[in-house]
Amino acid sequence: MKIVNSLKSLKKRDANCRVVRRKGRTYVINKKNKRYKARQG
């Protein structure tokens, strides 16, 4: 998992990327391709 400042750039990497908010943190998750994961905050 990458920890990044800009999630907008990571969302564009793959069509299945979703931005979700959990416990005050913002995550990019991808169910189809598990390697696209990121966290912010």
| Model pTM score | 0.79
Contact assessment for residue 39 and residue 26, using Cβ atoms and an 8 Å cutoff: yes
Band (19; pLDDT cuts 50, 70, 90): very high
The tens digit of pLDDT for each residue in 21-39 reads 999 999 999 999 999 999 9
pLDDT recorded at residue 24: 93
Q: Which bin fits 24, alpha (ψ -120 to 50), beta or left (φ > 0)?
A: left
Nearest-5° Cα angle at 38, 37 to 39:
140
